[in-house]
Structure 1
């Protein structure tokens, strides 16, 4: 069995009296697009900082690409590509100049700079914007440039920290298309996100985290099958109606969750005939999602 690209064992990171990461065990396999899924405050960004050596674990062990962190953080950073949440591009430079400056600070040979920049820009569909100043780019284009910078040195591991946070749905969809191409290339990618659809679409395997702990792991399909089933039946109504649906579902041994002014009964495909008669036909019958999985496991909603 190959050594995991990232390996956490009983990792704790404490800020004051709060454990941002609380006994986390994590293995990221080589050559996979791996999703770290959880709501804001679940410990995803702290986990990323532990991997890059920007933060030191309070206790436990962190290994990245076979190196101990943070002792070997300088070596590890030379092997990583990182796409941060916040843009730290130089807005006064052109797209190409931003990448060239980054290349000079890497271990890449100078004779490969131009080729690497061209390749990265083509991968993120910015080949025609190389001479544009960054300050003229849209938010989505800046995100693509950050992604180009992340893959510029052909890293052994690419970290995507909430790569589409704050972007509108159309721009997010465009970035997903770019990341799909990256996913198919075989690069090992660790992506933290709280967007359910992002994890379902891109990740080969997902770890669901809450309060700094791993609470579930598997492919999106495996997680749905294990914790939510195939279908969810949504019933709308006033508070007494919703409470009645929850009560009847619980008596039948089925999990339910509130979704706005409706209640979703999970594993609807296994619903007994007697329960169907009591509740009547659902207002909506839909496929389950990873958000259903998370709520079923923790009782919390993503925000």
Structure 2
């Protein structure tokens, strides 16, 4: 008999990132010399799981990798991070997902994801994990996997009263039914605009988009806005949580670290405002390092950063 450990259950992607560093991205038909290349473990699901685990959360990961070198490396990394991996399955047909990332010297990036085995995890697989989802303190999902599977997982969690964090990335239009079952929706400005059907370019338009999403049934909308911080919009009102000024080296996984930190803080009993402020700090630390999982901070780093920021503002 398997005994499920209560904690955060992350249902999401595991990818190997192939990162090319360059002064700028090439134009169509143009060839440039790059400044470096690296393989870096990632995938939005894996990033968010590791981010939360490094902050002290109990984590179970649900996903799928290929029967290849990248898949084996990702499983070992999850194991080393103390994440429960018994529900990461191995595909006999598809290779492990990969992401091709062009990283410019200003920290901006361009990403193409080939989902591979990630997309194979389906509704039937998730239905078999109802007992895992219903035993969680919270579940967290993204949109790099099969949408029907994600809808099913959210519906199961909702039916058992389990809070759901949905990070709607990559951006796509979602049904009102799916949104109505989400406890915490964490879009960036672009994603908020796509979901709400309006252009988002400021705090005011972010607020308008979030209010549209509240009308669709989301309980809490948290719009992440990079260095501008985050905007919390719910039926209690609107709160702008400032960000932290840092020099960006690599923005890959910044949003994922925010979501992982948010999940860890909420399951630790923090109120939403405090959880979002802490998550802003984690995101700020993440952009100061290169890579996806390699850039994710540990709890001691975050605590030291927050002490320094508090002293700076005195």
**Same fold per TM (> 0.5)?**
no
What TM-score do the two structures reach when normalised by structure 2? 0.27
Bigger relative contact order (CA 8 A; separation at least 6): 1
